[in-house]
Amino acid sequence: MDEKIITSIVCPGCGCLCDDIDVQLSGGSIVQINNVCSWGIGRFVDRKKFANKKERKRPDGHYTRINGARKSVPLDEACQLAADVIRAAKRVLIYGLCQSGNRAQARIYRLGKKLGATFIPSEGPLVTMFLEQFKQNGLSLCTLEDVRNRADVVVFWGANPIHSCPRLVSRYALFARGRFTERGEEDRKAFIIDLHPTELTKVCNEAILKDGDDLALLRALRTLLNGEKPEEYGTVKPKQARELAKALEEGLYIAFFCGRGPFYGNDGKKFLKEMVDLVAYLNEKANCVLLPLATDFNTMGFYHTILRDGDCDVLGKSLMYDVRDWKPRKGDVVIGLGSDFIWFLSDEQKVRMRTKDVKVISISSYETLTHVNCTVALSCAMAGIEVDDLAYRLDSLPVKLKGIRKPMLPADWEILERLETSLKI
Ligand code: SF4
């Protein structure tokens, strides 16, 4: 049987895009993977992310619905049917976008612009807000290698990397030994700020638990850094806030990783603005960076596509922050790219979808709830496992994805090209 070992390939399992994965193939199937975390294993061998023993079903073709029943159709016919659905739409929404290679992102962005569509990136609640701040206040980014080599203070704010980018802590941010952090975690002060104790609570120097009042803590830190006494600390113990402020004061290279946590309340925008101000303030004395901790493997790729286009106005006009803000109405057509968008809807939205007869076109590598129940299902190969593509790491570094397994289905970007041809736009 044909045996092959491929070394140092990229895992498209999350925004870390680990590039040290070794894979052994036998007869075209993956039989061994080294260096990968359990999420990555799921990605490479079609298992569920949080339950590796369970198979994650893949579609074997393209489908439409006739009188409610699912019917298999050839790709060209499926694209034609999808084009008919889109032509009849009063409003087109495109959801997902962050779990696909950059080729597909570029094509769907071009298509969406022609259709006047609204884009709803799955990581929008976190990254769209960051991008708006970057637009106004500039960037304070760095590579993950910089974090590994130089960061002596690391703060995970409303972000649990174990549940978003599992190997971030071992490869870069906490345990990793770098050029100026040779003793790994002993050379770093790490803080986690979260609502509940997490896996990292045990290994971080300090865990500050609070009750959703991120803004109060942020303001207390700023006051402490100014050498004054805060009037309030929110629900945080003053001693914990003082220790964090001291670490920020003394740190030579401070890395903040920010998750969705602080953005859930109404103060999300205010929090981010003041966070960016704090980072700018700390940068006057030391190096300080702020990275959004997005989970989906190519979140930054979609935002790069927008920025490359030079049409930042799309941020204001055509981006919806969160799919939960969507109020389904008659004539809506949703195109889901690499996402199981029905899974993220509220019960009220699902009911409205049914009563307003919203049509869904799904482009997916998996038999998700959305893919199985949609109007037209266009099934595609997996970027980085079955077909080559490009993705942007969570620090915006572009990396090449390599197809190592023979694809049974076309790439998502090929499907999108055919769809655009069928639409004749
Ligand atoms: S951390 Fe992410 S990219 Fe790295 S192996 Fe795990 S799933 Fe793959």
Pocket test of ligand 1: the residue of 9, 11, 38 to mutate, having most ligand atoms within 8 Å of its CB, is 11
Q: What is the pLDDT of residues 270-326, one digit of tens each?
A: 999 999 999 999 999 999 999 999 999 999 999 999 888 876 566 666 888 899 999
Q: Is the CB of 11 inside a 6 Å radius of any atom of ligand 1?
A: yes
The 10 Å CB-count burial string (b at 16+, else e) for 243-281 is bbbebbbebebbbbbbbbbbbeeebbeebbebbbebbee
Which one is predicted more confidently, 64 or 316?
64
- Cα 8 to ligand 1 centre (Å): 13
- Cα 251 to ligand 1 centre (Å): 29
* pLDDT the model gives residue 315: 61
pLDDT of 205 > 80? The answer is no
- The owner of tokens 């790709």 is 75
* pLDDT the model gives residue 296: 97
Question: Where in the chain are the domains?
Answer: 62-123+297-383+400-423, 127-292
pLDDT of 226 > 70? The answer is yes
Q: Is the CB of 36 inside a 6 Å radius of any atom of ligand 1?
A: yes
What is the pLDDT averaged over residues 109-121?
95
Pocket test of ligand 1: the residue of 34, 36, 99 to mutate, having most ligand atoms within 8 Å of its CB, is 36
Q: What is the pLDDT of residues 142-180, one digit of tens each?
A: 999 999 999 999 999 999 999 999 999 999 999 999 999
* pLDDT the model gives residue 314: 60
Pocket test of ligand 1: the residue of 17, 37, 144, 257 to mutate, having most ligand atoms within 8 Å of its CB, is 37
pLDDT of 401 > 90? The answer is yes
* pLDDT the model gives residue 311: 64
- Cα 190 to ligand 1 centre (Å): 21
Pocket test of ligand 1: the residue of 165, 174, 296, 299 to mutate, having most ligand atoms within 8 Å of its CB, is 165
Any idea which of 71-80, 100-109, 316-325 has the lowest mean pLDDT?
Answer: 316-325
Atom of ligand 1 nearest to the CA of 35: 5
Mean pLDDT computed over every residue of the chain: 92
pLDDT of 78 > 80? The answer is yes
**Atom 4 in ligand 1: residue holding the nearest Cα:** 18
CATH (one of 1.10.1060.10, 3.40.50.300, 3.30.70.1450, 3.40.228.10) for 127-292: 3.40.228.10
**Is 62-123+297-383+400-423's fold the same as 127-292's?**
no
pLDDT level of residue 25 (50, 70, 90 thresholds)? very high
* pLDDT the model gives residue 313: 62
**Atom 5 in ligand 1: residue holding the nearest Cα:** 36
Q: Is the CB of 14 inside a 6 Å radius of any atom of ligand 1?
A: yes
| Percentage of the chain lying above the pLDDT 90 cut | 76
- Closest C-alpha to 291, from 163, 102, 165: 165
Cα separation, 425 vs 412, in Å, equals 19
* pLDDT the model gives residue 195: 85
What is the pLDDT averaged over residues 363-386?
97
Which structure tokens are listed for 26? 């036998």
* pLDDT the model gives residue 422: 97
* pLDDT the model gives residue 210: 66
- Cα 99 to ligand 1 centre (Å): 13
pLDDT of 70 > 90? The answer is yes
- Closest C-alpha to 63, from 332, 423, 371, 359: 371
Cα separation, 82 vs 419, in Å, equals 7
* pLDDT the model gives residue 171: 97
Which one is predicted more confidently, 204 or 65?
65
What is the pLDDT averaged over residues 239-261?
94
Domain 62-123+297-383+400-423 has CATH 3.40.50.740: yes
- Cα 324 to ligand 1 centre (Å): 28
